[in-house]
Amino acid sequence: MTDIKTSAKPTATATKRPEIWAVANQKGGVGKTTTAVNLAASLGVLKKKVLLIDLDPQGNATMGSGLQKTELPYSATDIMLGTTPIEAVIQPTQVGYRLIGANRDLAGVELSLIDMPRREYVLKEALAKIEHEYDYILIDCAPSLNLLTINALSAATGVIIPMQCEYYALEGLADLSGTIERIREVLNPDIKIRGVLRTMFDPRNTLANDVSQELSTHFGGIMLETIIPRNVRLAEAPAHGMPVMFYEKGSRGALSYLSAAAELVRTTKKKGLNKGSSK
């Protein structure tokens, strides 16, 4: 482990609302979890107070943060079922942020939610009790638009969309924008696309370059400038239970996620969001 340390601990003094970002894309394997974990760690390095919520029964963000998904005392399941207060579910990590973990139990929650009143707002209402303690709350979503993801999108102030520069990327992004537009109309008027992040980018690949260019042309306003390269350290770090900047802080993967976090913080401030920052 490298020597990056953060002392950012939640305090109860802040009164502002944090940025709450759902990291979402219905397509599987595009880098959602890698983005959620490494942005959370990067924001921690920037001394922000961060909560990462794993809302995927795969529990990859939990494992990638150094916690054993099978040994969690409480998990996101308890929040979604209302069986444990959210304060008790939040776990400390060694990697600069706090975590609400998940495991396969979460897969059964959807059925129970169906009969619940205000079933789309369970997460939002639980977060309302503790959100003021954080600068940023990130939610790692599963690769589907299920009721858990709808809960994430109902709670979120913004969506971060990780995307690979492949042949169907433009069509996929158009679909996703339409979905978020519908969420805005029906469930959450505050939600916006906070940024589309190009992931696993290989600059030697001509198609990837073409698609990246097309994305900039058609979706310029919502594309993040930072591009995440394909980097083997990013793929290795989860096996060691740590974000890449703790595994190999000088790697291109670490530097690119730090740069994406810095861009998000900078542009969030510029847009007048998250006024009265923590430090």
x-or-dash string of contact with Mg ion, 32-71, rule CB under 5 A: xx--------------------------x-----------
The secondary element (H helix, E strand) that includes residue 259 is: helix 252-270
> What does DSSP assign to residue 163?
E
CB of 211 to ligand ATP, least distance (A): 16
Q: Give how far the C-alpha of residue 56 lies from the chain's centroid of Cα atoms, to the nearest Å.
A: 11
Instruction: Find the angle CA(91)-CA(95)-CA(100) to the nearest 5 degrees.
Output: 25
x-or-dash string of contact with ligand ATP, 104-133, rule CB under 6 A: ------------------------------
Task: Please choose which of ligand ATP, Mg ion, none residue 75 contacts, taking the beta carbon within 5 to 8 angstroms, the exact cut-off set by kind.
Answer: none
Could you tell me if 84 and 129 are in contact, meaning their C-beta atoms sit under 8 angstroms apart?
no
Q: Please count the residues of this chain forming the interface with ligand ATP, following the rule CB under 6 A.
A: 20
x-or-dash string of contact with ligand ATP, 137-156, rule CB under 6 A: ------x-------------
The secondary element (H helix, E strand) that includes residue 50 is: strand 50-55
Q: Which stretch binds Mg ion (CB under 5 A): 30-38, 197-205, 226-234, 235-243?
A: 30-38
CB of 151 to Mg ion, least distance (A): 16
Instruction: Find the angle CA(89)-CA(93)-CA(94) to the nearest 5 degrees.
Output: 170
Q: Which stretch binds ligand ATP (CB under 6 A): 22-30, 82-90, 93-101, 212-220?
A: 22-30
Q: Is 235 in the site for ligand ATP (CB under 6 A)?
A: yes
Task: Please choose which of ligand ATP, Mg ion, none residue 172 contacts, taking the beta carbon within 5 to 8 angstroms, the exact cut-off set by kind.
Answer: none
Name which of 66 and 238 has its Cβ closer to ligand ATP: 238
Of 132, 184, 149, the residue nearest 22 (C-alpha):
149
Q: Is 177 helix (H, G, I), strand (E, B) or coil?
A: helix
Q: Is 57 in the site for ligand ATP (CB under 6 A)?
A: no
Residues 144-163 that bind Mg ion (CB under 5 A): none
Q: Is 27 in the site for Mg ion (CB under 5 A)?
A: no
What is the rounded distance in angstroms from the CA atom of residue 259 to the CA atom of residue 198? 13
Contacts of 231 (CB under 8 A, 6+ apart): 244, 251, 252, 253, 256
Q: Is 32 in the site for ligand ATP (CB under 6 A)?
A: yes
Contacts of 183 (CB under 8 A, 6+ apart): 150, 153, 154, 191
Name which of 20 and 200 has its Cβ closer to ligand ATP: 200
Q: Which stretch binds ligand ATP (CB under 6 A): 81-89, 96-104, 225-233, 240-248?
A: 225-233
What is the rounded distance in angstroms from the CA atom of residue 261 to the CA atom of residue 42? 6
From the CB of residue 219, how many other CB atoms can be counted at a distance below 10 Å? 18
Is the alpha carbon torsion for 108, 91, 131, 270 positive or negative? negative
Q: Which residues bind Mg ion (CB under 5 A)?
A: 32-33, 60
Instruction: List contacts with ligand ATP (CB under 6 A).
Output: 28-34, 56, 58, 60, 143, 199-200, 228, 230-231, 234-235, 238, 253
